[in-house]
Copies of this chain bind each other. A is one copy, B any other.
Amino acid sequence: MAVQTVASTTESVDLGPAAALSCRECGHRVPLGPVFACEECFGPLEIAYDFSGYDTEELRKRIEAGPANIWRYAPLLPVPADVAGKPNLNPGWTPLVKADNLARELGVTGGLYVKDDSGNPTHSFKDRVVAQALEAARAFGFTTLSCSSTGNLAGAVGAAAARAGFRSCVFIPHDLEQGKIVMAAIYGGDLVGIEGNYDDVNRFCSELIGDPAGEGWGFVNVNLRPYYAEGSKTLAYEIAEQLGWRLPDQLVVPIASGSQLTKIDKGLQELIKLGLVEDKPYKIFGAQAEGCSPVSVAFKAGHDVVRPQKPNTIAKSLAIGNPADGPYVLDIARRTAGAVEDVTDEQIVDAIKLLARTEGIFAETAGGVTVGVTRKLIESGVLDPTKTTVVLNTGDGLKTLDAVAGTGLTATIRPNLDSFKEAGLV
């Protein structure tokens, strides 16, 4: 992995409480800039904050008086203080649904909640991370927003760039389904199909970043990744605030690269340190599809390293066979006394249907994974049904209709009462 060498006048960059980039492995600090790998050890860089000077009760009041989107948490994010007035898609503040019907089916008595991110502007949690990357791109003077994607991210980048007045150029495998191409292309940016698979697309993007042709380009999930990733913290903030500034006992989070889970943990830790919630134990459970379960396999085997897999599952938004943050996920699951579990494609479909018929929430396959894993963990006694539990749905069923294509009509009748009565529905 090549270290970024893009020069940028980062001295004057205002990204609010973001103070520097810090290596997750060796702690080496560098100024804020469009870099993602440590120049010392090649470890991943993440945002280091300066939260000193915050008064807990003032901060709480400021958040509660903020807008009904992620910018209510601007004091805790790498964004300027006036971010809410800038053109952005303003995602977040999605419902935390008290899922009493689902709780009854699963035998949960301690309170079960679904954090439903399908209401975001482009209907996935990706809007949260792209919103951060966009503000970083603005701060660094980038003019083009880019990414490699197989679906949700392409739409989120295209939409955010359109609204914020950035050019966008998004790279996808050329043979994606027509529906996904339409969703990514509709925002009018450039959408480039690459003859190859997702790995080829990723490799090409890394090449482009190092080339003069990529000058002025912010790749949200590459050179802007440290900023981008912080967006997932807002899920933790919202869950705690929506519970009345209280930590849940258990969280079930999907794993693709593992970044979301690690940032949710980071967000919860920040809330504790800032005194916004009581310091109490919580358990984080990671959820994968059996067809792409490298972290789950490592967890169960007691390994610290994650062995890559070749994905084969209907949960395509989670199908990252070599998850960059896999080892950190293992750390967090073990530190919090959680677990990592996986479910089959059949269990994913069953869980999508279960959530839909109990709570009226039509989840993406990733939501089927978390609900399915929740059920499995309850049945195996690993997840405690007497504790407050939050399950994440990070996407929208409308984007993965194929997974439940078998769902159909109960009956077909002629337009008269006799025919209806013969159908046996009354």
Contacts and interface: CB of A to CB of B under 8 A. Distances in A.
A420 interface: yes
Contact of A398 (B93, B201, B399): B399
Interface in A83-113: 87, 89-90, 93, 95, 100-101
Contacts of A414: 194-196
Nearest to A397: B186
A190 interface: yes
A410 interface: yes
Nearest to A217: B426
A415 interface: yes
A20 interface: no
A275 interface: no
Interface stretch (A202-210, A227-235, A289-297, A324-332): A202-210
A208 B426 CA distance: 11
B404 A356 contact: no
A182 interface: yes
A421 to B, nearest CB: 6
Nearest to A95: B90
Interface string A394-426: 001111010011011111111111001101011
Contacts of A182: 401, 404-405, 407-408
Given A101-B163, A421-B213, A183 B362 contact: yes
A8 interface: no
Given A121-B360, A207-B416, 20 more contacts: A89-B360, A101-B162, A101-B165, A122-B360, A159-B362, A162-B357, A178-B405, A181-B407, A182-B401, A182-B404, A182-B408, A186-B357, A188-B353, A189-B357, A191-B408, A192-B410, A193-B409, A193-B411, A204-B415, A207-B417
13 contacts: A68-B93, A101-B165, A158-B360, A181-B408, A182-B408, A183-B362, A186-B353, A187-B357, A190-B411, A193-B412, A200-B415, A213-B417, A213-B426
